[in-house]
Copies of this chain bind each other. A is one copy, B any other.
């Protein structure tokens, strides 16, 4: 898995265009990965993010127990994987085995980096129990960030290959690829 460190003040740019992400988590020998269309940057430096994690999910249990997660930006090649981990529960089977998801150890947090992705944000939860309980809303600080230099370098996304674009979930198994770049 090719990856370079993204300077933390530029980490928000990995999510600024609103891609769908995978949330990976681990605690006490258990691990999971789910899809999340509802995430966004929350601050520049130190970088923070917000993500919605439903109470019914195993991810929720592992994130609350560990205080950590990784936001992984999947590629179009991983769209079927994204849908699969977004519609199956980690309570029934280990999704890494069932769906065939490869993982690599992260640098700071215990949650793994999902192989084959475009970018990775290692996150530490900022405890906000009211937000978590009332809105399923988790705020976190980004403590390390990585990207595949084939698609993100010098703080900018560039997508030379149709299959290596980020994706944006609509509904019912339908996605959009990130489209044409343009300047104004």
CB of B173 within 8 A of CB of A183, answer yes
Residue A157 CB within 8 A of the other chain: yes
CA distance A174 to B13 in the complex (A): 11
**Docked pose: A82 CA to B182 CA in angstroms:** 13
Interface string of A30-63 (1 = CB under 8 A from B): 0000000111111100001010100000000000
How many Å from the CB of A87 to the closest CB on chain B?
11
Residue in contact with A181 in the complex, picked from B39, B41, B157, B176, CB distance below 8 Å: B176
Judge whether A156 and B174 touch: CB under 8 Å.
yes
Asked if B178 and A156 make an inter-chain contact with CB atoms under 8 angstroms apart, the answer reads no
Shortest CB-to-CB span from A57 to chain B, Å, is 15
Q: Nearest residue in B to A131 (C-beta to C-beta)?
A: B131
**Are A179 and B165 in contact, with the CB atoms below 8 A?**
yes
Which residues on the B side are within 8 Å of A182 (C-beta)? 76, 79, 174-177
Report A119 CB to chain B, min CB distance, Å: 13
Out of B37, B42, B48, name the residue touching A16 (CB < 8 Å).
B37
A145-159 interface bits toward B, Cβ cutoff 8 Å, 1 = contact, 0 = none:
000000000011100
A153 to chain B, nearest CB (A): 13
A104, CB-defined interface residue at 8 Å = no
Q: List, in ascending order, chain B residues with CB within 8 A of A137's CB.
A: 42, 50, 139
Report the minimal beta-carbon distance from A56 to chain B, rounded to whole angstroms: 13
Chosen A-B contacts, 11 in total, with CB atoms closer than 8 Å, are A13-B170, A16-B169, A16-B171, A17-B20, A18-B37, A38-B42, A40-B40, A42-B52, A156-B171, A157-B170, A168-B178
The 3 A-B pairs of least Cβ separation, nearest first, read A18-B18, A179-B179, A17-B168
